Amino acid sequence: MNSKQVELEAAVFRRLMSHLQTHTEVQNIELMIAGDFCRNCLAKWYVAAADEQNVALNYEQAREIIYGMPYDEWKIMFQTEATPEQIEIYNAKQNRSY
């Protein structure tokens, strides 16, 4: 991978984080249903990437980077309760076999 590709991928990732931070109306359950990932997944991937590079970063620190604020604060301000229908769809997706 060349440095230009790394720069482009980093820019795209920053844009994705900004987009998700701006569109707080999009709930994690909706992201999980539509794309099989959410903000918390991004934070876990961030921690895994940090570990691979021997960078000390814990999950809560990564979530603050992804959410743009402490996760508990984001939950209070923006998170809504998942509907029974969303939970049913999510569970059905998790239980399917490939």
pLDDT tens sequence across 16-75: 999 999 999 999 999 999 999 999 999 999 999 999 999 999 999 999 999 999 999 999
Which of 12, 19, 53, 57 lies closest to 39, judged by CA? Answer: 19
List the alpha helices (DSSP H) in the chain.
Answer: 3-22, 28-35, 39-52, 59-67, 71-78, 84-95
Query: What pLDDT, in 10s, does the model give residues 66-78?
Result: 999 999 999 999 9
Helix 3-22 to helix 59-67 angle, to the nearest 10 degrees? 80
Residue 97 is predicted with a pLDDT of 62
* Confidence grade of residue 1 (pLDDT, cut at 50, 70, 90): confident
Question: What's the pTM?
Answer: 0.90
Number of structural domains (the chain) is 1
* Domain, as residue range, for 50: 3-95
Burial (0-12, 13-18, 19+ Cβ within 10 Å), 41: middle
* CATH at 23: 1.10.3340.10
Q: What is the pLDDT of residue 81?
A: 96
